[in-house]
Structure 1
């Protein structure tokens, strides 16, 4: 069979590889001048530092199959994400752990003492937290909420935590030990030569053709047996019901000598700075040595039509709009919507890869059984 895939990020690349290995021909249409989507990495010309061009991506997963999959296409180097945070003109470790608690409150509490101390700080009058703010106040108390979450959330989402659902603070980011590993997954690491090389290796198959700087036109769909679309869901339908809202990111890149901040990620949690964080990219490749350094100051704002969409805003009214597009998409034949943009969901890299493998395998199975192919393989709304 002959397939078109729109987008050369992880979703498109993994689906393409699975279909190619099953003997099918795949043509990928990528509107940008590079593969790997927002995971794209490249060497900085001045410093030779490997840059995460669209912001840092750290690979972390408990999914052994996904971990083995990516390791087929790149050596992965050990990497532990240790995030620091500035608030009240002081530096702390994130996620909030025993060191953070003891430093913040000038204490020397043991784990059990800290649990009791934080429980007393929490607002016991909030029994059924519905908003992000209520969730934080109920479990952490006002001081930690104000210090680490309130202003950072306003900068990141452009709205008060009182307007955001409690689900955003799903797992309370607090530990009562000195573990400062930002993630708790079994497998963590970085591709030795960057994500773009990893995706390039996935796409390295005789049955795969990639066209960069090339938009896919809906009229081309008739030339293919099926289309896998990882672009924006609303964009495919020319925004006929309106635009699904996203947050976008602006990066101010600076080159410096030596070290700038001494760590990969420094969050600015209070309102003393307009940016959310500074990332220092040579620290994402700690096995390399560089005399110079590159930092990105990261700003979050509402996504405009010409911007790169990053994070979907899935409030009540947005979900109502999404439902219209899902119903519209379900009327289509010969196309499946995949990935972060195609399903309007925030997806980590490992989940994106796992879903792409599932889509390709189920598609092959349904095709062999001569059954109808769905527009979505995942529950979207």
Structure 2
């Protein structure tokens, strides 16, 4: 017997889980408050320039998961793309992540890899043996000069607090390389969807067992009307923020336009604290196989997320983790609901991880139903 299931959110989590369940014969309804599918990875053609714009900021697909790579390519053709980030700092343009070129340029040297490795080890603060904060991790990693040029100001703008208040784990995502490799990611598969993420998600949702309703609110009080609810909205929002709001950072985008090639790359970071924005993205460079005379660019700035803003990055500091634990306890008493995705589990997730968890969540739900068991409340433990 088919269950009547609702996916709250038409982003990657809702689309992928919905497809898994629909293919298994269940009746799936997908609702989203926005006028489009694909959530924050929504892309659309600019009508004036033809540029494919990443409306909510750049999303670059990278993964080592062959199944996930094959999955997305079954719904959209992914073309090769390498994320090569630049950073304007102290009046110069450097290559990120920090690599041998960055080190030699910054210090005015011509070091070989072994020389640079020894040089950076000497720059590092070797008295810090167990770094606890972002700043301590950076100082123990690359020393004060590189830290202040590339990490300190950028981090203060991105997170709205001193790097001394952030955990060391935040910096562990940023590599230092002692060769000239400026590919930002290490992953085996890297690319961009030829026609954008929104057509890909639309194809995932294109199944006779899936009914999509956009610009539609979902009231958690009506959850009892469904056999199961998959909630990819904010975890605290499901409970009407009754315990308080979990902290997020949001992003503001100042769009501007130019003719020709404005900055010569897709992403230019700005590490200096006196520059108000964190980076500028030039969207046509995210599709290097296309040619456009006009250009669409975003100046991107981060700030605290208000009630009417789009939440992007969970803060997960001490106070937020304490409140998160309270919401996890509250969620444990919920029936016939599973919290999924970045907002539902209050975690920063790359797209490939989101899809992997969605595939696994759909399979786990089907297995639990077949066994007569209650499905788990969380696709992944938020704690």
| TM-score > 0.5, shorter chain as reference | yes
What is the alpha-carbon distance in structure 2 between the residues aligned to residue 308 and residue 85 of structure 1?
26
1:203 and 2:244 aligned:
no
Contact 2:232–2:339, Cα closer than 8 Å, also in 1: yes
Instruction: Give me the CA root mean square deviation.
Output: 0.7
Displacement, 1:373?
1.4
In the TM superposition, residue 165 of structure 1 has moved relative to its aligned partner by 0.4
Segments of structure 2 that go 5 or more residues without pairing to the other structure are none
Tell me the residue number matched to 1:35. Answer: 37
**2-side partners of 1:346 and 1:68: how far apart?**
23
Counterpart of 2:26?
Answer: 24
User: TM (normalized to structure 1)?
Assistant: 0.99
Q: Which residue of 1 aligns with 2:95?
A: 93
The residue aligned with 2:372 is 370
SS at match of 1:65: helix
Counterpart among 64, 67, 70 of residue 68 in structure 1: 70
C-alpha distance in 2 between matches for 1:167 and 1:199? 32
Give the match's secondary structure for 1:180. Answer: coil
CA deviations over 1:132-176 (Å, ceiling 9, x no partner): 000101121110000000000000000000110001011452100
Matched with 1:303 is 305
Is the 1:3–1:227 Cα contact (8 Å) retained in structure 2?
Answer: yes
CA contact (8 A) 2:97 2:174 kept: no
Q: Secondary structure at the match of 1:301?
A: strand
Partner of 2:341: 339
Match of 1:182 in 2: 184
CA distance in 2, matches of 1:171, 1:267: 16
Question: Runs of 5+ in structure 1 lacking a partner?
Answer: none
What SS is found at the alignment partner of 1:200? helix
Deviation digits for residues 308-351 of structure 1 (CA, Å, limit 9, x no counterpart): 00000001111000001010011010100000000000000000
Deviations 1:229-273 (A, max 9, x none): 000000110101100010000000011111110100000011231
Aligned equivalents of 2:382, 2:278: Cα separation in 1:
29
Instruction: Output the CA distance in 2 between the equivalents of 1:309 and 1:171.
Output: 21
Aligned residue for 2:74, secondary structure, equals helix
SS in 2 for 1:189: strand
CA contact (8 A) 2:156 2:273 kept: no
- The SS at the match of 1:231 is coil
Deviating more after overlay: 369-378 vs 151-160 = 369-378
1:282 maps to 284
Q: CA deviation at 1:227?
A: 0.4
Within 2, Cα distance between the matches of 1:172 and 1:61? 16
**Counterparts of 1:197-346 in structure 2 under 5 Å?**
197-346=199-348
Structure-2 separation of matches of 1:160 and 1:173: 21
What does the per-residue CA deviation read over 1:62-121, in whole Å, with 9 as the maximum and x for residues that have no partner? 011100000000000110010000000100000000000000000000000000000000
- Where does structure 1 differ by over 2 angstroms across 4 or more consecutive aligned residues? none
Shift of 1:372: 1.4
Q: Deviations over 1:187-210 (max 9, x none)?
A: 000000000000001000000011
TM-score (norm 2): 0.99
- 1:48 CA displacement: 0.8
The 1-side partners of 2:173 and 2:54 are apart by: 27
SS in 1 for 2:44: strand
The answer for the alignment partner of 2:48 in structure 1 is 46
Contact 2:364 2:375 (C-alpha < 8 Å) held by counterparts? no
Q: Report the count of equivalent residues.
A: 381
In structure 2, distance between residues paired with 1:26 and 1:77: 31
Distance 1:159 1:221 in 2: 38
Aligned-partner SS, 1:73: coil
Query: In the alignment, what sits opposite 2:105?
Result: 103
Contact residue 97 and residue 179 of structure 1 kept, 8 A: yes
Secondary structure at the aligned position of 1:149 is classed as: helix
Tell me if structure 1 keeps the 8 A contact 2:134–2:171. Answer: yes
Task: Report matched runs for 1:7-18 at 5 Å.
Answer: 7-18=9-20
